[in-house]
Structure 1
Amino acid sequence: MAHPRTLLVPLSRITAPSIALARPELPRLATLPFQTIRNAVTKTDTKKKKKVRNTYKNYDLKRAEQFSLVDAMHYIRAFEVGQNPQSAKYELHVRLRSLKNGPVIRNRLRLPHPVKTDLRICVIAAPDSKAAAEAKAAGATLVGEDEVFNQIKEGVVDFDRCICHIDSLQKLNKAGLGRVLGPKGLMPSTKTGTVVNQVGSTVRNMVGGSEYRERVGVVRMAIGQLGFTPEEMQNNIKSFMDAIKKDIGQMADRINKEVHEVVISSTHSPGFTLNGEYRGASSINPKELSGPL
């Protein structure tokens, strides 16, 4: 039998490098640059951006309940029970299909049946002139030149409209009131029709007239007193709608505007969409919709 030492000698000849070579080699992963790894794990944004609307959103009128003028006035007067018919007013809202960044409708209208307002009008005219006398007779609350200029410079602006007689325009410009009246929209100018020759007729039109301006695709204006009859309201609404359609026609070359909805409301009532009819088959007698509530 061989001695154990004779068996150990061949094993001692196996060196460490031989053992290392006998080990199976594992595949090595190549190192990738940081930029490549980052791009590989980045998720691409597949969501599409919402398209921004360039027009105002309008509701589908097929789903809205619509009323004749007599029926709408009937419901509105029910909401105004106990209110003073001379203080509460009917208001008309005309919603337009229009671009957001386009020109807006702005004008003045004298209704067939004027709505009573507490409009305060200032007239720039020589105190002793014929224009000043006409202005006072027509209902102007403040008339003059130097006294009016000093009052405005002191910051006292107790009027809602300001017009100037053409003979006083140069004196008005020298007074330098543009910084005070300009931001308030009260500075008279020929462009806005507030520098005139006929002061009396202009003041009368302002007292009995109404201004309207499109805001956010809607034109609003007081259309009548609560004591008006349906016939008077019909005449005022027709006159107002004709004026708006005329304004739209003048803008046809610059922008496309269309009337989408006409809503009537009052000081204390919700709005009622009109269907264009005067009265329906089950409407009450229009004579019952005038006078005290």
Structure 2
Amino acid sequence: MAKLGKRTRAAREAFAGKNNITVEDAVALVKTGATAKFDETVEIAMNLGVDPRHADQMVRGVVTLPNGTGKTVRVAVFARGPKADEATAAGADIVGAEDLMETIQSGKIEFDRCIATPDMMPIVGRLGKILGPRNLMPNPKVGTVTMDVKSAVEAAKGGEVQFKVEKAGVVHAGIGKASFDAAALAENIRAFVGAVSKAKPSGSKGAYMKKIVVSSTMGPGVTVNVESANAE
């Protein structure tokens, strides 16, 4: 069995026996346990009572966190002409059409969010096998296939988070940095949980939100009371 370092042992001891606690208590605990030499990301993982293999139980959506993510998001936009200029003016990091497609096909993916105007989808569609598994494929349901390129780019840069349930029924995302004020992290957590709650699919039966865990990049996780996290 691998020997645990002093920092890891101390964090686990601090978290021991603390489960199903309020959002505020969880945030305080996670911030205390984030002792790495870099500004750790605070992450949330939700176990949902859905089976995403069925279309009527798919959970996906987008939420703008009120206090941002603390992460610099690199945005690529598929557009031509005035819309390409609009994307560049809005702060997009990469803008292109066929040239951008060829760059991605070569294996060079230097962006975290991909946006496209509707007329670009025949080109973007060829990249489904590359972008799809990375959750980068533009989709009108989450606002990344749009003619309003300016708003889409600004939202992506301003703290918008996309979420999509995985095979095991888990949704996870980064909701801020350990350096954030505790109140800001708590507000972000509730905004994210609220968005997932509103995205409840018609095919979901029984308990929808089964478990919520909050952690930092290098720290242990702590279970959060579902009612506390889903409070309006």
TM-score band, normalised by shorter chain:
0.7 to 0.9
Offset at residue 266 of structure 1 (A)? 0.8
- The residue number in structure 2 matching 1:67 is 21
Quick one: which amino acid aligns to residue 242 of structure 1?
Answer: G
Alignment of 1:104-253 (within 5 A): 104-126=58-80, 129-169=81-121, 172=123, 176-177=126-127, 180-181=130-131, 184-188=134-138, 190=140, 193-207=143-157, 208-215=159-166, 216-248=168-200, 251-252=201-202
Offset at residue 112 of structure 1 (A)? 0.8
Query: Which one has a larger percent helix, Structure 1 or Structure 2?
Result: 2
Check whether the contact 2:18–2:222 (CA below 8 A) recurs between aligned residues. no
Offset at residue 69 of structure 1 (A)? 3.0
- Pick the structure with greater CA Rg: 1
2:211 is equivalent to residue 261 of structure 1: yes
Quick one: which amino acid aligns to residue 271 of structure 1?
Answer: G
**Gap regions ≥5 residues in structure 1:** 1-62, 279-293
Q: TM-score, normalised by structure 1?
A: 0.60
- The residue number in structure 2 matching 1:18 is none
Change (3 A) 1:134 1:81: same
Q: Which has the higher contact order (CA 8 A, sep 6+)?
A: 2
Change (3 A) 1:273 1:153: closer
Offset at residue 182 of structure 1 (A)? 5.3
Q: TM-score, normalised by structure 2?
A: 0.74
Offset at residue 225 of structure 1 (A)? 1.2
Change (3 A) 1:81 1:242: same
CA distance in structure 2 between the aligned counterparts of 1:199 and 1:74, rounded to whole angstroms:
38
Check whether the contact 1:69–1:230 (CA below 8 A) recurs between aligned residues. no
**Gap regions ≥5 residues in structure 2:** 1-16
Secondary structure of the corresponding residue to residue 158 of structure 1: coil
Cα RMSD (Å): 3.0
Alignment of 1:31-42 (within 5 A): none
Offset at residue 77 of structure 1 (A)? 2.5
- The residue number in structure 2 matching 1:78 is 32
CA distance in structure 2 between the aligned counterparts of 1:242 and 1:132, rounded to whole angstroms:
34
Provide the identity percentage. 30
Offset at residue 142 of structure 1 (A)? 1.0
Change (3 A) 1:264 1:176: closer
Check whether the contact 2:52–2:165 (CA below 8 A) recurs between aligned residues. no
